[in-house]
Amino acid sequence: MASLAHMQRMLAHLEKQERSQLELLSWKGPGARRTDPSTMPGQRFGRLLVLRRGAKNSRGCATWLCVCDCGSERLAETNGLKSGCIKSCGCLRREQLIKRNTKHGDCNSPEHRSWMGMIQRCTNPKDAAYDRYGGRGINVHPEWKSSFTAFLDHVGRRPTRAHSLDRIDNDRGYEPGNVRWATAAEQNRNQRSNIRITFAGETMILTDWAKRIGIPVNTLYSRITHLGWTLDEALKPKMRKRRASWNAGRKLA
């Protein structure tokens, strides 16, 4: 958050601006309509409720005693109230100033770094990964692009240090319903380069099939792509044993 001295300087500057605006508003040109004093009490202007008429100020302008929603009272000029220049006792201005100068406190968090990285690789042509993201049409949801808070509200905090940002469908962008925190193993299974095999009504990547039948991934890949084994031969245990015995016999011969 900004320093107290900086906040005080900003408030003083805003108050000076308000006074300048009121001076301009207080000038009444030819034919200007006057406000009926009897209609002002009970009217609401922003956070201010007009109670009664006050004394004229140093410029000879009529003022009104108003009570703010926060409970404070202040005198306000007629033109300032009616123009919208004055909307509160000053609390609204302070709240807006604090909001503008207060950071979310997550600038160095892993979530914020992931958010920044997501935007960079999708929008910055100079980013090393742009060709694989923004270059092929992967976009960031508009609300997430403009608001880290909106992004964090949807995806939540990173569960562990082993997790990083991942898209469930790699052909869709960073958008609600398509983003999660995933481990490296989970992301490896979700890469576009993975070979997916459907056998007996079940679809898995090559790595998971090799793990299920208990052989190295490279062996399974070689049998399917280079040796010409059918899926039945490569993935059914009995067929694998029969084919392996046949290959062993050929070597002995």
Instruction: Say whether both 115 and 51 belong to one domain.
Output: no
Residue with tokens 């968090």: 109
Instruction: Say whether both 162 and 203 belong to one domain.
Output: no
Q: What are phi and psi of 57, to 5 degrees?
A: -90, -170
pLDDT digit string, tens, across residues 203-230: 777 777 777 878 887 887 787 777 878 8
Check residue 200 and give its pLDDT: 76
Rounded CA separation 152/109 (Å): 11
- CA distance to 81, 82, 91, 199, per residue, from 69 (Å): 15, 18, 9, 69
Domain boundary among 73, 102, 131: 102
Say if residues 90 and 76 touch (Cβ distance below 8 Å).
no
Instruction: Say whether both 55 and 90 belong to one domain.
Output: yes
Q: Tell me which residue of 201, 209, 142, 210 sits closest to 175, measured CA to CA.
A: 142
The verdict on residue 31 lying in a domain is no
Instruction: Say whether both 1 and 64 belong to one domain.
Output: yes
Count CA within 13 A, CB hemisphere, residue 129: 8
Instruction: Say whether both 131 and 227 belong to one domain.
Output: no
Domain boundary among 78, 102, 126: 102
The verdict on residue 209 lying in a domain is yes
Domain that holds residue 237: 196-252
How many other β-carbons are positioned within 10 Å of the β-carbon of residue 150? 15
* Token reading at 56: 């004229």
Considering the entire predicted model, what is its pTM? 0.44
The verdict on residue 16 lying in a domain is no
* Token reading at 40: 């002002």
Number of structural domains in the chain: 3
Beta strand 179-183 with 163-167 is antiparallel
* Token reading at 109: 């968090």
Check residue 239 and give its pLDDT: 46
Q: Which three-class secondary structure state does DSSP give residue 164?
A: strand
Burial of 143 (0-12, 13-18, 19+ CB in 10 A): middle
Candidate from 8-17, 164-173, 193-202 with smallest mean pLDDT: 8-17
Instruction: Say whether both 178 and 208 belong to one domain.
Output: no
Instruction: Say whether both 85 and 145 belong to one domain.
Output: no
Instruction: Say whether both 164 and 245 belong to one domain.
Output: no
Instruction: Say whether both 116 and 181 belong to one domain.
Output: yes
Instruction: Say whether both 173 and 132 belong to one domain.
Output: yes
**DSSP state string for 102-162:** ---S-TTSHHHHHHHHHHHHHH-TTSTTGGGTGGGT--B-HHHHH-HHHHHHHH-S-SSTT
pLDDT band (50, 70, 90) for residue 240: very low
Instruction: Say whether both 223 and 173 belong to one domain.
Output: no
Instruction: Say whether both 150 and 231 belong to one domain.
Output: no
pLDDT digit string, tens, across residues 16-27: 666 665 555 454
Q: For residue 34, what is the DSSP state?
A: P
pLDDT digit string, tens, across residues 42-97: 999 999 999 999 988 888 888 999 999 988 899 999 888 988 888 999 888 877 77
Q: Tell me which residue of 83, 85, 81 sits closest to 67, measured CA to CA.
A: 81
